[in-house]
C-alpha cells in the first residue's frame, strides 16, 4: 500500500455516497489521468473495517478482466483509505435505465455479458453476493457492461450462512437469494448470484421488481415463499422464452436454477437469435 495525500488528486465530482464509502471522479496529478476514487467514509474505522476495505481491493484485483473495472492501487489518503480505479466513463445501470429505455435486443446483449462476467469470477471461486443494477456499469457508446463493488464478495466456493437480524444482512434486500437471507439453513454458492441476476433481469425486462414492498420482513418472505408474476405477463413485449429464463434463475432453491453459465448463456443466445430473426 502506498501513502498519498489529497493533493495527489484533484476531485472533479462526487458520484456516489453510502454510509461507509464515498466515490469521486478525480484527476491524478502526476500523469493527469482521470480515475475513480472509492474512499472509506468512516471517521474512525476499526481494524476489521479497514481489513474488509483492503479485501475489496484484493478481490477486485484477483478477478480482474474486461468485465470488471481495473484497480490501480490501494492507498492511504490523508487519514482515510482509497481504492483507485480506472475511469471507464460508464454509468451505473440503475441510473441509466431511469432515463433511457433499452431495447429488448440490447437488454439480451447486456444479459449475455453479465453471464460472461459472472462466469469469470465464479471460475476463480468468488461469489459476488450483491448483483443488482447499481453494481453494474453500462457504457452506451459500445454497450459494454462491467461488474463493480466487491465489498461483500467471498473468495470461497461455498459460504455458511446463518440467521442474522435485518441490520446485519449482506446484500441489497430486493435482490438477495432465499439462501442469502440466512433463513434456509444452507450454505451460499455461486448460484446465489444467479438468483440476483434473475431479479436484475426481471427488472430490466419488465421495468419493475418482482417483489415490491417497503416492508423488509415481507420482502424476505417474498424471496422465500412467493412466486412473482411471469415477466411476459407484466410486459407483453417480453417473449415467454425470455421470461422462462428469468423465472428459472429466480427458483427458490439453488438446485432448480441454472447450474452452469454455459447453459444459461446458450439459452439467452438462442433468445437473441430468435428475436433478431423476428425483427424485435
Per residue in 20-75, pLDDT (tens digit) is 899 999 999 989 999 999 999 988 899 999 999 999 999 999 999 999 999 999 99
**Which pLDDT value is given to residue 5?**
54
Give the separation between CA 250 and CA 246, rounded to whole angstroms. 6
Long-range contacts of 216-222 (CB under 8 A, 24+ apart): 216/166, 216/173, 217/166, 219/173, 219/174, 220/173, 220/181, 220/183
CATH code of the domain occupying 2-86:
3.30.200.20
Cβ–Cβ < 8 Å for 164, 228? no
Residue 164 has pLDDT above 60, yes or no: no
User: Given pLDDT bands bounded at 50, 70 and 90, which one contains residue 248?
Assistant: very high
> Which residues, including other chains, have CB under 8 Å from residue 219's CB and lie 6 or more apart?
173, 174, 211, 213
Altogether, the residues listed in the chain come to a count of 280
Residues labelled as active-site residues: 130
pLDDT digits (tens, 9 = 90+) for 202-217: 999 999 999 999 999 9
Check residue 19 and give its pLDDT. Answer: 83
Q: What is the dihedral of CA 56, 62, 68, 70, to 10 degrees?
A: 90
Identify the pLDDT of residue 170. 75
**Strands, sheet with 80-86, edge to edge from the N-terminal-most edge strand:** 2-4, 71-77, 80-86, 33-40, 21-28, 9-17
Task: Read off the pLDDT band of 18 (50, 70, 90).
Answer: confident
Q: Is residue 132 a contact partner of residue 121, using CB atoms and an 8 Å limit?
A: no
Q: How confident is the model at residue 185 (pLDDT cuts 50, 70, 90)?
A: confident
The answer to whether the CB of 188 falls within 8 A of the CB of 129 is yes
- Average pLDDT of the residues in 86-105: 95
Longest dimension (CA), the chain: 58
Distance (Å, rounded) from C-alpha 234 to C-alpha 226? 16
Residue with cell 453459465: 261
> Which pTM value belongs to this model?
0.93
Of residues 43 and 136, more confidently modeled: 136
Query: 253-270 pLDDT, tens per residue?
Result: 999 999 999 999 999 999
* SS3 assignment, position 3: strand
Contacts of 241 by beta carbon, 8 Å cutoff, 6+ apart: 270, 271, 274
Looking at residue 184, its pLDDT comes to: 80
Count CA atoms within 13 Å of residue 201 on its CB side.
33
**pLDDT for res 186:** 84
Give the CATH architecture of domain 91-278.
Orthogonal Bundle (1.10)
Domain-wise residue ranges, the chain: 2-86, 91-278
Three-state DSSP at 177 gives coil
Residue 159's pLDDT band, with cuts at 50, 70 and 90, is: low
SS3 label, residue 19: coil
Among the listed residues 77, 40, 68, the one whose alpha carbon sits nearest the alpha carbon of residue 55: 40
pLDDT at 160 over 70: no
Contact 109, 52 (CB under 8 A): no
Cell numbers describing residue 100: 433511457
The pLDDT value recorded for residue 183 is 78
Q: How many CB atoms lie within 10 A of CB 100?
A: 10
Q: 170 is written with which cell numbers?
A: 449482506
The set of cell numbers assigned to 280 is 424485435
pLDDT of 2 over the 90 cut: no
Amino acid at each position: 500500500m502506498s501513502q498519498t495525500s489529497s493533493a495527489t488528486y484533484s476531485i472533479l465530482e462526487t458520484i456516489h455516497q453510502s454510509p461507509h464509502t464515498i466515490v469521486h471522479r478525480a484527476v491524478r496529478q502526476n500523469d493527469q489521468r482521470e480515475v475513480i476514487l472509492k474512499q472509506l467514509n468512516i471517521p474512525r474505522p476499526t481494524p476489521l473495517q479497514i481489513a474488509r476495505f483492503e479485501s475489496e481491493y484484493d478481490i477486485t484485483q484477483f478477478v480482474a478482466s474486461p468485465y470488471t473495472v481495473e484497480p490501480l492501487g490501494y492507498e492511504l489518503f490523508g487519514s482515510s483509505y482509497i481504492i483507485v480505479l480506472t475511469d471507464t466513463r460508464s454509468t451505473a445501470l440503475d441510473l441509466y435505465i431511469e432515463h433511457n429505455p433499452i431495447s429488448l435486443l440490447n437488454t439480451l446483449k447486456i444479459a449475455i455479458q453479465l453471464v460472461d462476467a459472472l462466469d469469470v469470477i465464479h471460475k476463480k471461486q468468488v461469489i459476488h453476493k450483491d448483483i443488482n443494477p447499481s453494481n453494474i456499469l453500462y457504457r452506451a457508446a459500445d454497450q459494454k457492461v462491467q461488474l463493480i463493488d466487491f465489498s461483500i464478495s467471498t473468495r470461497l466456493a461455498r459460504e455458511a450462512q446463518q440467521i442474522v437480524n435485518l441490520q446485519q444482512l449482506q446484500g441489497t434486500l430486493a435482490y438477495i437469494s432465499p439462501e442469502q437471507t440466512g433463513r434456509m439453513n444452507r450454505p451460499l454458492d455461486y448460484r446465489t448470484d444467479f438468483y440476483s441476476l434473475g431479479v436484475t433481469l426481471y427488472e430490466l425486462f419488465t421495468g419493475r421488481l418482482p417483489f415490491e414492498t417497503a416492508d423488509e420482513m415481507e420482502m424476505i418472505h417474498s424471496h422465500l415463499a412467493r412466486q412473482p408474476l411471469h415477466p411476459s405477463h407484466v410486459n407483453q413485449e417480453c417473449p415467454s422464452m425470455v421470461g422462462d429464463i428469468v423465472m428459472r434463475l429466480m427458483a427458490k432453491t439453488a438446485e432448480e436454477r441454472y447450474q452452469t453459465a454455459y447453459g444459461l448463456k446458450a439459452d439467452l443466445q438462442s433468445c437473441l437469435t430468435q428475436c433478431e430473426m423476428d425483427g424485435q
